[in-house]
Amino acid sequence: MATRKSSGKENAGGRKGSVAAARNGSGGPKGAGTSSRKLWDGFKSIAGTIAIFLVLRTFLIEAYRIPSGSMIPALLVGDWLFVNKLRYGPHVPFTDYNLPGYAEPQRGEVVVFESPLQADEVAIGNDGTPTLVKRLVGLPGDTIYMRDAMLYVDGVAQKLGYTSAEQTLGDGSETHPLFDWQHRFEVANTRFGEPPAQPTHDNWGPLVIPPERFFMMGDNRYDSKDGRYWGLVPRKNVRGRPMFVYYSYVTAMESDRPASFITDIRWGRLGHWIR
């Protein structure tokens, strides 16, 4: 019996169909390869987005939440703010190195920094080096002290321009073993008077701030565990300068509204620049 021969047109049509199927990704292994490429492209897109986010967060801007009232009224519990990490030089993660910034911290600025080691917090199971936000009140070379709750820098009284009725009052004669670090930096026989034998909350110093160190205090000074307790902040610990409040609400501890993060928003705080 004679075998039917395929025509040239049929062969050409078959080849064209095979090429079209390959281009469309059908036909077994070819389709599987295209799916793998799509998955890989999707993964690269997600990984790239995450990488960009991490770079921005590490070196440029980071969000920060205010958990305590130590900076009332400049910052309130429940404020969410953006921190400019580029200003003072971003910190390289997992190292002790900071990249150069375009400005140095100045007296009176609100600063975000890593706390010096707080052994008392470690002893009770807390983070010994938390990230904090306070106001810089003492620069390297400054002679700083407190008399009757008034802060002095080089003999000049630093009157609080940001007090409010929300600030708590306390016992200025309080003493604490954590104040004892001050003795290493005290100076005697100066025109600023002699340091007290036992530093108290409202009476201590004079201290001379050494190079590459800062003295930080909270604005709400009777509700602030600050430099009086844990000491001087190394320059390398500085992390950034708060910019503005992008979100703020009355926390559940102070609000009687359900879901206060939605129902008790401080609309007047949104966009508030921090000074």
* Residue 204 host element (H or E): strand 204-208
For residue 166, the tally of other CB atoms under 10 A from its CB is 11
**Catalytically annotated residues:** 70, 134
Query: What is residue 150's predicted lDDT score, i.e. its pLDDT?
Result: 92
**Mean pLDDT (whole number) for 251-260:** 92
pLDDT in the model for residue 170: 83
- Rounded to the nearest integer, the mean pLDDT of the chain is 86
Whether residue 211 is preceded by a cis peptide bond, meaning omega within 30 degrees of 0, is no
pLDDT digits (tens, 9 = 90+) for 122-160: 999 999 999 999 999 999 999 999 999 999 999 999 987
AA identity, residue 38: K
DSSP category for residue 170: -
User: Is the separation of the CB atoms in 114 and 133 below 8 Å?
Assistant: no
Q: Across the strands, what pairs with 153?
A: 144, 156
Peptide bond into 206 cis (omega under 30): yes
Element containing residue 242 per DSSP (H, E)? strand 238-248
pLDDT for the residue numbered 83: 96
SS3 122: helix
Bridge partners (DSSP) of residue 136 are 216
Where residue 49 falls among pLDDT bands split at 50, 70, 90?
A: confident
